[in-house]
């Protein structure tokens, strides 16, 4: 164990890590504990190191309404670029949930009263308009 080691991350580096975590299917900040052992994931990051859960928590606590609005605007602009690139005039997204029954103590699994079963409820989005 190395004591006194300090690594600082830019806001951009943390945001990119969070985006990659989400794209990899890890939607919680504590997923970084598992991802820091993943050599491929570390190579994606500019620091080659995964920011810790406390670092991610501090990042979230610094976020203001202006931060959220700026991220919303970036997301909107990226969607516009995507739609223009693919020449899509109308986009209809079908959002649906699917229940998967689980057994044992799997992470993310919980009781679903609607299905009267323990499992995961995933959400999928598809382009409902096929051209």
Other Cβ atoms less than 10 A from the Cβ of 10: the count is: 10
Residue 74: its pLDDT value, please? Answer: 92
Residue 3: its pLDDT value, please? Answer: 36
Residue 5: its pLDDT value, please? Answer: 58
Residue ranges per structural domain of the chain: 11-85, 93-127
Residue 69: its pLDDT value, please? Answer: 96
Residue 94: its pLDDT value, please? Answer: 86
Give 10-residue mean pLDDT values along the chain (131 residues).
Answer: 60 92 87 89 90 93 93 92 87 85 85 87 79 56
CA distance 64 to 58: 12
Residue 4: its pLDDT value, please? Answer: 41
Residue 15: its pLDDT value, please? Answer: 92
Q: Where are the beta strands (DSSP E) in the chain?
A: 93-101, 110-112, 117-127
Residue 97: its pLDDT value, please? Answer: 84
Sheet with strand 110-112: strands edge to edge: 93-101, 117-127, 110-112
């Amino acid at each position: 164990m190395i004591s006194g080691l300090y690594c600082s991350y830019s806001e951009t580096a943390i945001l990119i890590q969070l985006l990659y975590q989400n794209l990899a299917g890890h939607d919680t900040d504590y997923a970084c504990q598992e991802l820091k052992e993943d050599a491929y994931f570390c190579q994606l990051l500019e620091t080659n190191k995964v920011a810790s859960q406390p670092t991610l928590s501090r990042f979230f606590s610094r976020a203001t309404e202006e931060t959220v609005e700026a991220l919303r605007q970036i997301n909107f602009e990226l969607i516009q670029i995507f739609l223009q690139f693919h020449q899509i005039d109308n986009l209809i997204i079908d959002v649906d949930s699917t229940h998967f029954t689980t057994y044992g103590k799997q992470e993310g699994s919980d009781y679903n009263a609607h299905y009267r079963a323990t499992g995961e409820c995933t959400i999928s989005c598809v382009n409902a308009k096929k051209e």
